Amino acid sequence: MIGRYRLGTTLGSGGMAEVFRAEDTRLSRVVALKVLRPALAADTTFRARFESEARAAAALAHPNVVSIFDVGEEEDGRPYIVMELVEGGNLAERAARQPLVTAEAAGLMQGVLSGLGAAHDAGLLHRDIKPGNILLTRDGTAKVADFGIAKALTESRGALDLTGTSLVLGTPRYLAPERAMGQPATVQSDLWAAGVVLYELVAGQPPYPGSTAFELVAAAQSGQVATPPSSLTPADLAVLDVAIRAMDPDPAQRFVSAAAMASELAAAAPMAAVDTALAETATAIPPAPTVAYGPGSRPPGPTPPGPLNRHWRLTALLVAVLLVVILVMILALGSGSPQAPVRTTSTTRAAPTTSTTAAPTPATALANLVRDATAGETSGAVDQGSAQNIINQAQQAVTDSAAGRSSQAANDLQQAAMTISQGLQRGSITGAAATLLQQDLTALADVLGLGAAATPPATAPPGPGGGHGAGKPGKGDG
């Protein structure tokens, strides 16, 4: 026992602490309990760093950040932290079991960036983003954990620097080159690490070669990214381009915030979802050609090097979606069950087929929603935050549905419908835009086989015209 907590099995251990599964005997709930190692408890510097984790993480209340419930001290003086128990393992274990499809990887990293952005907004840096510090719930939600070497941005002036100017903390493979050279941690160095994680998930290999910290830093400073597998599609490469921008050797060329990186990732991710859906219906898709990169170059994708242009990407996305829809039509007509030649002598001919257009698919339904949400944002009919949330929630619904998580996909669609309804109530989404987006959401729910899941939850404020059925709020009969 430690306080009121009954210890169970060991969940893991690191350089600073051990983590146990434990039972809170007062509240009758299972938790994770992290205890500082005895050898370090007497070290005031390590102890202060450990307690800093509790203060940093307890200040955050975000669905993509592991929650802190309690802090305390053992009788021998060792401090401990009580956290929520996340039982889905970590991202490193998940990727080791089976490679993630690009759409799933993008969805998980959008959650990571959301949590990381909340930490940055609260004035906190993580400093050690890596797959082992990204935990997964049973329903696949990503949660950022282990702020053990986090440091408040506000502590950089006039307060104790727990890490010191000459001490570099972090994991070498995920350490930005300027950090390895002794520069202070920044938002951009956290995003560097997030870019490395994203690259590894999509490419299935590290972005930079090297077996030692020196080799990794030298490769990162050169900007020469390893050649990704030739099996990656153009849509995969578009997502990879987001990772590569985050890993630019020059911090000034990286994304200015986690939200900016998440926005570009969301813009690239729908094409990855299109590829996934197409792969499920097509018999074969030729692999992308082998591409080699020189120093500082990026893999080809819909976004040119340098600052990314959102509207250029949208135009390219719509053109690509149109080409994909045409390909789906060709495949559906060419590879479907062929009709027997008409040889009947009956004067009654079979009714002409109505499939002059391809049947809707999750990919096309999602592409329609992305198009309308982005067009609404551009015209001012939808505010930027609502447009991005609706796209992210719809993308996550497609990802969850493809992974067999129907209940979670239905919840994703309900959250998107609630975003539309609340935006309409606030006036941040116009009535016409809300109607169009709700129609797109309902169409997506239909092709996913989730029916009324696109209806806002009962707790959501009803929009004009009701809000109790699919196609609302604000949706008329015509």
Q: Which residues of 237-247 are buried (b: 16+ CB within 10 A; e: fewer)?
A: bbbbbbbbbbb
Q: Is residue 311 part of a domain?
A: no
Question: Does residue 40 sit in the same domain as residue 105?
Answer: no
Our count of domains for the chain comes to 3
Final residue of a structural domain among 215, 239, 269? 269
Question: Does residue 62 sit in the same domain as residue 200?
Answer: no
Enumerate residues 6+ apart whose C-beta is below 8 A from 108. 91, 100, 134, 136, 140, 142, 201
- Look up the CATH number of the domain holding residue 227: 1.10.510.10
SS3 content of the chain, % helix, strand, coil (to 5): 50, 10, 40
Final residue of a structural domain among 243, 269, 295? 269
Give dist(CA 396, CA 159) in Å, integer: 41
Q: Is residue 330 part of a domain?
A: no
State the pLDDT at residue 457: 59
Cα-Cα-Cα-Cα torsion 419, 421, 425, 429, nearest 10 degrees, comes to 70
Query: Looking at 121, 128, 383, 412, which residue is catalytic?
Result: 128
The pair of three-digit structure tokens given for residue 257, joined into one six-digit string: 């915030």
Burial class (CB in 10 A: 0-12, 13-18, 19+), 273: buried
Known catalytic membership, residue 128 = yes
Q: Is residue 197 part of a domain?
A: yes
User: How many CB atoms within 10 Å of residue 414?
Assistant: 23
Reported as a single tens digit per residue, the pLDDT across 92-148 is: 999 998 888 888 999 999 999 999 999 999 888 888 899 989 999 988 899 998 775
Q: Is residue 293 part of a domain?
A: no
- Look up the CATH number of the domain holding residue 51: 3.30.200.20
Question: Does residue 245 sit in the same domain as residue 116?
Answer: yes
State the pLDDT at residue 350: 41
pTM to 2 decimal places: 0.57
Weakly modelled stretches of the chain, pLDDT under 70: 15-16, 40-41, 45-46, 49-50, 53, 148-170, 270-359, 453-454, 456-478
The pair of three-digit structure tokens given for residue 413, joined into one six-digit string: 């669609």
Question: Does residue 256 sit in the same domain as residue 365?
Answer: no
Give dist(CA 55, CA 52) in Å, integer: 5
User: How many CB atoms within 10 Å of residue 117?
Assistant: 21
Give dist(CA 473, CA 464) in Å, integer: 6
Question: Does residue 265 sit in the same domain as residue 196?
Answer: yes
Q: Is residue 163 part of a domain?
A: no
Q: Is residue 178 part of a domain?
A: yes
Question: Does residue 58 sit in the same domain as residue 101?
Answer: no
State the pLDDT at residue 198: 95
Q: Is residue 454 part of a domain?
A: yes
Question: Does residue 75 sit in the same domain as residue 122?
Answer: no
Reported as a single tens digit per residue, the pLDDT across 30-72 is: 999 988 777 766 777 667 766 776 777 787 889 999 988 888 8
Residue written as token pair 């835009």: 433
Range of the domain at 198: 91-154+169-269
Question: Does residue 429 sit in the same domain as residue 457?
Answer: yes
Question: Does residue 78 sit in the same domain as residue 96?
Answer: no
What is the Cβ-side half-sphere exposure of residue 254, based on CA atoms within 13 angstroms? 27
Question: Does residue 71 sit in the same domain as residue 95?
Answer: no
State the pLDDT at residue 154: 34
Cα-Cα-Cα-Cα torsion 414, 417, 418, 421, nearest 10 degrees, comes to -160
Question: Does residue 459 sit in the same domain as residue 402?
Answer: yes
Final residue of a structural domain among 68, 84, 100? 84
Question: Does residue 262 sit in the same domain as residue 138?
Answer: yes
Using the 8-state DSSP alphabet, how is residue 226 labeled? Answer: P
